[in-house]
């Protein structure tokens, strides 16, 4: 094919291909464009490409490049929209009847349910079975059947599928969108009698076979006598199975900056690659090079399938496959080309993989390492082998941290401060643990040797868990409660890019000037955000299951009226935290709704400590708005009107805690603008109120159905 482009394009063709392709995916995820128009534009672009390719005129080289980028961009857009549209099956929404499907995810066990994702293959209508497609998420009541359900199991079930909906809380994780990127749009809870296995049928798909093989390996580890925490870490570290990790272990590894060690990635695949190269080192004959390369690639992907084909594993396996294949051509494909090619191939297979945080972190980390490591590592030279390895690990850790810190803050609102200490202690131990895990499996027929390796492995993991717990407990282990918006995220990466270009490369003043301008822009955005936050005033009623939560935001003052049992408090923190971080509010002031009595008025005033907010019994006033909370403590007879008394006006009446009040009783006592049914009420209670309001006399906001109530004052 004729290409008369720049030297950079010749050098890194996949780098130039991946940029418009990713742009097309991003546009498809965020904007709706007429697909037919795009197909017409694609055809015209291809015809134009063919015409200019035929005449091969140097004068049209730039135009030629633009046409190629347009073709790739449109292809990315259409591939993404097609993937999303094919997965949508409207007939499954609110479907009631029999369905046959295949379990496509590892069961996730909780106290009250077992969650599985199911690929639907057939539905029953009018006593006939029809092939169909689509995915759904099922919550199964725990029983003997859920103990033996596995990935690849076929089940028959009778659900009442409902469309997945968000709770509508401000800045809360968009669970509906996340599941849609996994092609799941419906869900249901099934009791024991609502489902069963569909005979003894099992999927013969290689991926499911490998995942079941992985489960057998985990069972072998379990029989070695490891405790649950150690088994959970080993399952995640070596086999990519993270469902057995306890919340405490997850927290310790995340806070200490070691979570990447439990996510199978380039480190793990690299170790396996070195083991494969060592085991195949006897194939020295040049005639056997093809067999050696094919075996290497086959074993790399065997491990990738075994660990669940996560984005980081897929990326690493693809890159190491390129490295192995380069032996056939006696030339290196180039690290940037390998990175771009692996991303391009993965996104070509599944463009929605771009939305996965693991995919983004994996590629950003490896790009950061590849760009920064060669510039910093030569600055210090150690003849001592151990010091050289420590220096190398330091540079890799710093490079990865610089590259991933902005996106970690954007998604997780925190970064680990002791990442270097964590990597010094855990990466060598993790490497040894992977070797030992493989040894346990290899020698499993010889029980004495296998148990010996398992004992050492158990001790190594126990030490790893101790170190993460120790680092997590150190003062200032985590910089938490950080928030940046999308604009600030892009500015931070531009600052890193141009600062790196100046300090590690050109030393030209142009890059330094750009860095200063970008810093001014970042500071300006931050200043505007802070000035806006000073004037903000919100009344929010959150949608949190079986919980009342009423939030008043006044500038940076954060006052929360809520139920405060341990479960309710944790749910509120989870649901409201991101919103509080975005609004930049101070630590919340808690007022227990059960304490809205005359005896607690002084203590509540002291806690509120805000001149704009006043609370007396079940009444709250904020600025010029008045709110009445009607719960079980509300005594409506205390507000009975006497002759010539006027009804009291309130802006909002919040009904909560399954109050026995009738709407007509409220209407007789108060004038109001809106009735709000909060999420502490059971469905039967809100249904009763709806029946009372059948004539539609009162405006209603049902938090459970309509999402959180948000009033910007």
pLDDT in tens, 185-227: 999 999 999 999 987 666 667 777 887 888 888 888 888 778 8
pLDDT value at 8 more than 60: no
In degrees rounded to 5, what are phi and psi of residue 251? -60, -45
Residue 446's pLDDT is: 86
217 in Cβ contact with 168 (< 8 Å): no
How far CA 268 is from CA of 48, 240, 432, in Å, comes to 46, 10, 11
Residue 618 to residue 611: CA distance in whole angstroms: 18
204 in Cβ contact with 102 (< 8 Å): no
The whole-number average pLDDT for the span 386-414 is 92
pLDDT value at 102 more than 70: yes
Q: State the chain's mean pLDDT as an integer.
A: 86
Nearest to 320, CA basis, from 256, 381, 276:
276
139 in Cβ contact with 160 (< 8 Å): no
Answer with the residue of higher pLDDT: 567 or 418.
418
In degrees rounded to 5, what are phi and psi of residue 512? -65, -40
Answer with the residue of higher pLDDT: 390 or 334.
390
656 in Cβ contact with 620 (< 8 Å): no
Confidence of residue 16 (pLDDT cuts 50, 70, 90): confident
Q: Which helix (H) or strand (E) holds 592?
A: strand 589-592
Residue 560 to residue 365: CA distance in whole angstroms: 39
In degrees rounded to 5, what are phi and psi of residue 622? -140, 115
In degrees rounded to 5, what are phi and psi of residue 454? -65, -35
564 in Cβ contact with 573 (< 8 Å): no
Structure token pair of residue 507:
């030393």
Confidence of residue 544 (pLDDT cuts 50, 70, 90): very high
Give the burial class of 260: count Cβ atoms within 10 A of its Cβ; 0-12 exposed, 13-18 middle, 19 or more buried.
Answer: buried
Residue 468's pLDDT is: 93
pTM of the model: 0.86
The whole-number average pLDDT for the span 404-416 is 93
Lowest-confidence segment of 59-68, 108-117, 669-678 by average pLDDT: 59-68
pLDDT value at 259 more than 70: yes
Residue 600's pLDDT is: 65
The whole-number average pLDDT for the span 595-608 is 71
Residue 331's pLDDT is: 60
Answer with the residue of higher pLDDT: 26 or 271.
26
Q: Phi-psi region for residue 321, left (φ > 0), alpha (ψ -120 to 50) or beta?
A: alpha
pLDDT in tens, 422-445: 999 999 999 899 889 888 888 888
Lowest-confidence segment of 610-619, 629-638, 654-663, 702-711 by average pLDDT: 629-638
What pairs with residue 139 in β-bridges? 115, 189
Answer with the residue of higher pLDDT: 573 or 518.
518
76 in Cβ contact with 22 (< 8 Å): yes
pLDDT value at 13 more than 60: yes
Lowest-confidence segment of 50-64, 98-112, 250-264, 589-603 by average pLDDT: 50-64
Nearest to 106, CA basis, from 229, 234, 236:
236
Q: Which helix (H) or strand (E) holds 230?
A: helix 228-239
* Cα separation of the two ends of the chain: 63
What pairs with residue 700 in β-bridges? 675
Q: Quick one: how far is CA 247 from the chain centroid?
A: 16
The whole-number average pLDDT for the span 692-702 is 87
pLDDT value at 329 more than 50: yes
Residue 14's pLDDT is: 83
What pairs with residue 652 in β-bridges? 627, 674
Tokens 């480190």 appear where? 267
616 in Cβ contact with 601 (< 8 Å): yes
pLDDT value at 6 more than 50: no
């Amino acid at each position: 094919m004729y290409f008369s482009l720049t030297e950079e394009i010749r050098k890194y063709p996949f780098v130039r291909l991946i940029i418009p392709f990713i742009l097309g995916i991003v546009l498809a995820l965020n904007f709706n464009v007429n697909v037919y128009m795009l197909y017409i534009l694609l055809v015209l672009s291809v015809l134009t490409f063919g015409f200019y390719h035929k005449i091969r005129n140097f004068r049209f080289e730039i135009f030629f490049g633009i046409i190629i980028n347009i073709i790739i961009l449109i292809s990315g857009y259409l591939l993404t929209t097609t993937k999303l549209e094919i997965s949508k099956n409207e007939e499954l929404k609110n479907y009631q009847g029999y369905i046959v499907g295949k379990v496509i995810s590892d069961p996730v066990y909780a106290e009250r349910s077992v969650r599985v994702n199911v690929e639907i293959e057939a539905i029953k209508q009018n006593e006939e079975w029809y092939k169909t497609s689509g995915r759904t998420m099922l919550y199964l009541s725990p029983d003997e059947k859920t103990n033996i359900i596995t990935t690849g199991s076929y089940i028959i079930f009778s659900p009442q599928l409902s469309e997945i909906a968000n709770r509508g809380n401000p800045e809360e994780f968009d669970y509906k969108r996340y599941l849609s990127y996994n092609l799941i749009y419906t869900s249901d809870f099934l009791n024991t009698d609502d489902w069963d296995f569909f005979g003894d049928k099992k999927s013969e798909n290689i991926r499911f076979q490998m995942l079941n093989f992985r489960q057998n390996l985990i069972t072998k580890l379990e029989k070695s006598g490891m405790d649950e925490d150690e088994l959970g870490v080993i399952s995640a570290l070596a086999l990519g199975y993270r469902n057995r990790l306890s919340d405490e272990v997850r927290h310790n590894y995340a806070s200490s900056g070691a979570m990447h060690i439990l996510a199978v990635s380039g480190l793990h695949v690299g170790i396996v690659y070195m083991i494969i190269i060592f085991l195949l080192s006897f194939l020295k004959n040049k005639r056997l090079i093809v067999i050696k390369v094919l075996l290497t690639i086959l074993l790399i992907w065997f491990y990738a399938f075994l660990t669940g084909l996560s984005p980081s594993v897929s990326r690493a396996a693809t890159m190491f496959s390129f490295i192995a294949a380069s032996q056939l051509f006696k030339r290196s494909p180039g690290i940037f080309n390998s990175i771009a090619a692996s991303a391009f191939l993965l996104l070509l297979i599944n463009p929605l993989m771009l939305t996965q945080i693991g995919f983004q972190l994996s590629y950003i980390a490896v790009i950061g390492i590849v760009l920064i490591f060669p510039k910093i590592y030569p600055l210090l030279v150690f003849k001592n082998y151990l010091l050289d390895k420590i220096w190398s690990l330091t540079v890799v850790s710093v490079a990865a941290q610089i590259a991933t810190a902005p996106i970690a803050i954007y998604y997780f609102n925190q970064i680990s401060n002791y990442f270097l200490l964590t990597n010094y202690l855990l990466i060598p131990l993790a490497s040894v643990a992977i070797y030992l895990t493989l040894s346990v499996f290899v020698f499993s027929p010889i029980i004495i040797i296998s148990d010996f390796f398992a004992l050492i492995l158990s001790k190594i993991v126990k030490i790893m868990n101790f170190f993460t717990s120790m680092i997590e407990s150190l003062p200032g282990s985590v910089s938490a409660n950080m928030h940046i918006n999308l604009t600030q995220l892009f500015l931070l990466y531009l600052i890193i890019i141009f600062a790196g270009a100046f300090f590690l490369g050109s030393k030209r003043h142009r890059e330094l000037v750009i860095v200063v301008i970008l810093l001014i822009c970042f500071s300006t955005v931050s200043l505007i955000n802070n000035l806006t936050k000073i004037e903000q005033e919100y009344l929010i009623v959150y949608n949190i299951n079986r919980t009342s939560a009423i939030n008043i935001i006044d500038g940076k003052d954060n006052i929360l009226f809520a139920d405060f049992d341990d479960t309710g408090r944790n749910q509120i923190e989870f649901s409201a935290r991101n919103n509080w971080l975005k609004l930049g509010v101070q630590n919340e002031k808690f007022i227990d709704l059960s304490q809205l009595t005359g005896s607690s008025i002084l203590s509540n005033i002291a806690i509120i400590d805000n001149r704009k907010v006043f609370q007396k019994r079940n009444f709250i006033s904020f600025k010029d708005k008045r709110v009445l909370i009607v719960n079980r403590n509300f005594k409506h007879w205390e507000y009975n009107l006497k002759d010539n008394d006027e009804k009291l006006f309130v802006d909002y009446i919040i009904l909560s805690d399954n109050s026995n009040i009738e709407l007509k009783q409220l209407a007789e006592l108060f004038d109001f603008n809106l009735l709000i049914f909060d999420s502490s009420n059971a469905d039967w209670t809100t249904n009763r109120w709806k029946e009372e309001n059948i004539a539609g006399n009162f405006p209603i906001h049902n938090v459970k159905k309509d999402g959180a109530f948000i009033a910007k004052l």
